[in-house]
Amino acid sequence: MNLRIAPSVLSCDLGRLREQVQEAEAGGAEWLHVDVMDGHFVPNLTFGAPMIRALRRISDLPIDVHLMVEHPEQYLAEYADLGASVFAFHPEATTHVQRHLSAARERGMKAGLVLNPSTPVGWLEEVIDDLDLVLVMSVNPGYGGQGYLPASTGKIGRIRALLDRHQKHDVTLEVDGGITVQTIRAAHAAGADTFVAGTAVFGQPDIAGAVRALLAAAKGAE
């Protein structure tokens, strides 16, 4: 199975963004995860277009945008123009989910749906042909540094089975929240291939080493 680390810049020291992103890249990070929060969909406020623009200047890695905002579609065209590679949003945040997934693809981005811990897996089935990525929240979104919810592992397994049943072997199955060298192994064994990690990468003194440690811990599950 593919294996990819997507460090979340939410946990970066923003005054050292370039340096820290380059360290993560040197450790083998393949994507950069950007947590856009609006203070409404989640009780926290972060960044948006200026962060995507800054990262695009700093690195050539694909930018994986996770929108925790109401009406994510209002940012779709702008983020595509800025060079975002993944456009992933929560189905509770908008009404016409299928339309926006399909618009993300038309704009050349991977179309992703994000499931909160309480959001049923069955929602995916209705739009399965429109998905390039599923992002499983293993914490309730809003903050970095929370603990991995153990029920997430079973949910990842059920989503992998659903994707297999529909022969969707190219859909990325990503996990976000509380990923550490301790939790990554079970999540990978259950079928996830892409791992967001904030604290476990940028919260560590050796950022490159932290990415390598996550990769090694996940490989232990293969």
By C-beta, is 68 or 162 nearer to ligand DX5?
A: 68
Question: Closest-CB residue for ligand DX5?
Answer: 198
Q: Which of 38, 64, 132, 176 is catalytic?
A: 176
Cβ neighbours for 121, distance < 8 A, ≥ 6 positions apart: 115, 155, 158, 159, 162
CA distance 164 to 147: 29
176 binds ligand DX5 (CB under 6 A): yes
First to last CA, the chain: 8
176 catalytically annotated? yes
Q: Which of 173, 177, 192, 214 binds ligand DX5 (CB under 6 A)?
A: 177
35 catalytically annotated? yes
Binding mask 158-197 for Zn ion (x = CB under 5 A): ------------------x---------------------
CA-based nearest residue to 197, from 35, 2, 15, 19? 35
Binding mask 43-82 for ligand DX5 (x = CB under 6 A): -----------------------x----------------
CA distance 6 to 145: 15
> Within the chain, where are the H helices?
17-26, 49-58, 76-82, 97-106, 122-125, 151-165, 184-189, 199-202, 207-219
Q: Which of 13, 35, 60, 64 is catalytic?
A: 35
CA-based nearest residue to 111, from 71, 139, 84? 84
DSSP-derived 3-state class of residue 13 = coil
Q: Which of residues 90-109 bind ligand DX5 (CB under 6 A)?
A: none
119 binds ligand DX5 (CB under 6 A): no
Positions that interact with ligand DX5 (CB under 6 A): 8, 10-11, 33, 35, 66, 139, 141-146, 176-179, 196-200
Tell me the catalytic residues: 35, 176
